[in-house]
């Protein structure tokens, strides 16, 4: 992770101000956090006002993809417009000697840019697979999507040209006069992991999960 103080943001609007030394703009750092994350929050200005919707996502090099039903109001409002997509991995809680210095351990990415609706059939299909396989790679084991399913799904592409990363690790940064005081300071790590696969109630007996499903059990989620 490079120090944002030494790096140049692609635009002024993604320049970190507070805690800038925790940040970076380099693409590898952006990719690492996006590849570790599970949920994206997609921020859109709709005719009814701003809305932020959680969604799955996928990444192909420097493009982030999100998808949803063609009737999805947020995605429809986002088409061709400026959006802000954030991905956050929560790694723990930081407990200060005073609540003022409570914080969190995290890795986060903020992406700002214009959302392009994907219309080319090959990119559309590739993006659906990327999104599907982002966390658990089951596409090649599942029934292929039908034309109707594909038609019902819209995909937006957001370039990663304007993206920033911020990573907070370690413990609290307390007031010097509090360090010799009686109050506890430290951190509580958050470690999330995937559990054992649970077959569907109506699964035909004898069908075993693909290795991508069994392999994920017990591994770190983020
Ligand atoms: C889980 C979590 C909890 C947080 N809790 C708080 C809180 O309670 N209060 C608080 O003030 N801050 C909190 N933060 C930090 C917050 O995200 C901002 O970094 C912080 O408010 C400082 O923003 P700023 O003024 O520097 O940037 P802003 O002026 O708000 O944003 C300018 C640009 O900086 C970049 N940027 C800002 N924050 C981030 C980020 N986290 N990751 C990547 N890029 C970023 C974006 O590109 C943005 O366009 C939290 C962060 C996380 C991940």
pLDDT for position 7 = 74
168 Cα nearest atom in ligand 1: 53
pLDDT for position 1 = 39
CA of 59 to the centre of ligand 1 (A): 22
pLDDT for position 153 = 97
108 Cα nearest atom in ligand 1: 42
CA of 165 to the centre of ligand 1 (A): 10
Ordered by where they begin, the domains of the chain are 12-178+185-190 (2.30.110.10), 193-222 (no CATH)
pLDDT averaged over 10-residue windows placed end to end, the chain, 222 residues? 60 96 96 98 96 98 98 96 98 98 98 98 98 95 96 98 98 98 98 96 96 93 88
For 118, residues 6+ apart whose C-beta sits below 8 A from its C-beta are 65, 124, 127, 154, 155, 156, 157
For 27, residues 6+ apart whose C-beta sits below 8 A from its C-beta are 62, 160, 163
pLDDT for position 6 = 43
CA of 139 to the centre of ligand 1 (A): 35
CA of 110 to the centre of ligand 1 (A): 9
pLDDT for position 15 = 97
Q: Whose CA is nearest to atom 37 of ligand 1?
A: 16
pLDDT for position 21 = 94
pLDDT for position 222 = 86
To test the pocket of ligand 1, the residue of 85, 107, 166 to mutate (highest count of ligand atoms within 8 Å of its CB) is 166
């Amino acid at each position: 992770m490079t120090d944002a103080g030494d790096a140049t943001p692609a635009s002024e609007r993604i320049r970190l101000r507070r805690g800038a030394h925790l940040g970076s703009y380099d693409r590898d750092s952006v990719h690492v956090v996006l590849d570790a994350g599970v949920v994206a929050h997609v921020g859109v200005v709709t005719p009814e006002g701003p809305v932020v919707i959680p969604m799955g996502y996928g990444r192909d090099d420097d493009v982030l993809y999100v998808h949803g039903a063609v009737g999805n109001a947020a995605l429809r409002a986002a088409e061709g417009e400026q959006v802000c997509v954030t991905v956050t991995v929560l790694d723990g809680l930081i407990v200060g000697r005073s609540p003022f210095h409570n914080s969190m351990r995290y890795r986060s990415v903020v992406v700002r840019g214009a959302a392009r609706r994907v219309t080319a059939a090959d990119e559309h299909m590739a993006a659906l697979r990327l999104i599907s396989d982002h966390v658990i790679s089951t596409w090649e084991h599942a029934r292929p999507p039908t034309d109707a399913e594909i038609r019902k799904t819209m995909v937006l592409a957001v370039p990663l040209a304007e993206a920033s990363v911020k990573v907070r690790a370690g413990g609290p940064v307390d007031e010097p006069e509090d360090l010799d005081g009686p109050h506890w300071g430290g951190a509580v790590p958050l470690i999330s992991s995937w559990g054992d696969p649970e077959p569907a109630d109506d699964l035909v007996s004898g069908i075993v999960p693909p290795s991508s499903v069994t392999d994920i059990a017990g591994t770190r989620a983020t």
